[in-house]
Amino acid sequence: MSVITIERKVLEKNDEIARQNRALLAEHRILAFNLVSSPGAGKTSIVERTLEHLGKSLKVGVIEGDVQTDFDAQRVARYRVPVIQIVTNGGCHLEAQLVQDALLQMSLPGLDVLIIENVGNLVCPANYDLGEAFKVVVLSTTEGDDKPLKYPSMFRNASVLLVNKIDLIPYVNCNLSALKSNALQINPHLQVFETSCTTNAGISDWCGWLRKKGAHRS
Amino acid sequence: MSVITIERKVLEKNDEIARQNRALLAEHRILAFNLVSSPGAGKTSIVERTLEHLGKSLKVGVIEGDVQTDFDAQRVARYRVPVIQIVTNGGCHLEAQLVQDALLQMSLPGLDVLIIENVGNLVCPANYDLGEAFKVVVLSTTEGDDKPLKYPSMFRNASVLLVNKIDLIPYVNCNLSALKSNALQINPHLQVFETSCTTNAGISDWCGWLRKKGAHRS
């Protein structure tokens, strides 16, 4: 029995549980997305800004994934929304089973949107379906404009790219049009928003898009 | 046969090849280090500044690890040093076998230092010994001061922490003393340098430390 066979079996089992999660979310008409990025690109800040923007009109729940600590759940809990922290204890990505366990702990009726914030990792989470409607990848300008070409799977599998920390453009070596062109070369269907969680630039555009997606679910 | 057993076997095989790499490097009296970080923390820029600083007095070779592209090897090759690019094709970390294959392609006699730049990933490379003398973890100030607590394995397994992009401190939400205190809480033995590849701050301190390490090898 080869390692490759084992890996395929792990992925097949994950996909089966992801299908169950997707069915459960559909039953409750919840729009769920899987938020992925490198460590420190600003995922949790994006969650916070999204809650500030949408929290009054939509009921949003959050699942936080981290290797260690519940810092992110603590940050999100200040917004008085349902939040569950998953600690992977060294695991480099969320899997569908962990998300299913969290869904079973969460009160789903009445939720409009579920944000699943993955572990900070631009490689491994690309391969694991969690049952989400789509993936949103956050890339910060400080990481450099070549990253979509160097880590293509994540950009290929995502529907939305949030180019975050655009307020830092004057101070870093990042060509914004090269970054976007590299991302669209990997995935021409990417919906791209330029955001800053410091200045709030782009947040209303991103949330407007998300609200429309939410209105069209069911 | 469980997945965990397979994983242990993979790691045991990796460790055996890492031992062979370590013996080969010792035979040639080469000081090798494994450079790890999130994507975009500045590993390749650290390699470039290190080559500028040490390249005249020491002979340095470089192994570049990336999921896709040979951009980093192209950047390093401009310094006219021996460089081999490993493309993992989706793999989230370097393994000892890939490094051994690269070592066999490289002319080792006369080399003083070997830099192995790992795939940008703050989780998975922590578990894979490549045969290096020590790990150097780069954390950029833009990633935030909580990252050592959220991704502890990498900081626990490293000997050196380069806190990079310190020139961006005025523009980002990062408490430098909290960052260092979090890192030292995880690993009190970490040697910490504050660096900027834009202003060259801290590069001579880091390279001075590396030069001493090189002088004491054998």
By Cβ distance, the residue of A67, A92, A150 closest to B66 is A150
Of A164, A152, A162, residue with least CA distance to A127: A152
Neighbours of B9 (CB within 10 A): 12
- Among chain A residues, the shortest Cα distance to B7 is held by A3
- Among chain B residues, the shortest Cα distance to A154 is held by B90
Q: Report the first-to-last Cα separation within chain B, whole angstroms.
A: 42
Contact A131, A104 (CB under 8 A): no
Mean pLDDT of all residues belonging to chain B? 95
Q: Is residue A2 domain-resident?
A: no
Within 8 A of A68 by CB-CB distance, chain B residues are 149-152
Q: Is the pLDDT of residue B154 over 70?
A: yes
Per-residue pLDDT tens digits for B175-206: 999 999 999 999 999 999 999 999 999 999 99
Neighbours of A60 (CB within 10 A): 25
C-alpha A7: how far from chain center: 23
Within 8 A of A143 by CB-CB distance, chain B residues are 38-40
Question: Read out DSSP for A16-76?
Answer: HHHHHHHHHHHHTT-EEEEEEESTTSSHHHHHHHHHHHHTTTS-EEEEEEESS-SHHHHHH
Contact B145, A141 (CB under 8 A): no
Within 8 A of B90 by CB-CB distance, chain A residues are 123, 153
B1 — pLDDT class (breaks 50, 70, 90):
very low
Q: Is residue B6 domain-resident?
A: no
Contact A65, A118 (CB under 8 A): yes
Amino acid at A52: E
- Say how far apart CA A205 and CA A202 lie, in whole Å: 5
Question: Read out DSSP for B16-62?
Answer: HHHHHHHHHHHHTT-EEEEEEESTTSSHHHHHHHHHHHHTTTS-EEE
Contact call for B122 and A122, based on CB within 8 A: no
Within 8 A of B198 by CB-CB distance, chain A residues are 173
Angle value at C-alpha A65, between A60 and A69, nearest 5 degrees: 115
Residue A82 tokens read as 């349902």
Per-residue pLDDT tens digits for B37-68: 999 999 999 999 999 999 889 999 999 999 99
- The domain total for chain A is 1
């939305």: which residue's tokens? A160
Mapped onto helix, strand or coil, the DSSP state of residue B214 is helix
The CATH number that applies at residue A134 is 3.40.50.300
Q: Is residue B4 domain-resident?
A: no
Give mean pLDDT, residues B162-169: 98
Rounded to two decimals, the pTM is: 0.95
Burial letters for B165-183: b for 16+ Cβ neighbours within 10 Å, e otherwise? bbbbbebbebeeeebbebb
- Say how far apart CA B49 and CA A26 lie, in whole Å: 52
- Among chain B residues, the shortest Cα distance to A168 is held by B171
- Among chain A residues, the shortest Cα distance to B9 is held by A3
C-alpha A42: how far from chain center: 11
Q: Is residue A190 domain-resident?
A: yes
Per-residue pLDDT tens digits for A29-81: 999 999 999 999 999 999 999 999 998 899 999 999 999 999 999 999 999 99
Q: Check if B43 contacts A (Cβ < 8 Å).
A: no
Q: Give which of B171, B173, B199 to mutate to test A binding, by max A Cβ within 10 Å.
A: B171
Q: Is residue A5 domain-resident?
A: no
Of A70, A52, A151, A163, residue with least CA distance to A117: A70
Mean pLDDT, consecutive 10-residue segments, chain A of 218 residues?
68 96 97 98 98 94 97 97 96 97 96 98 97 98 98 98 98 97 98 98 98 78
By Cβ distance, the residue of B140, B152, B171 closest to A68 is B152
Question: Which residue range is the domain that position B42 belongs to?
Answer: 12-216
Percent of chain B with pLDDT over 70: 96
Residue A93 tokens read as 């990505």
Q: Is residue A6 domain-resident?
A: no
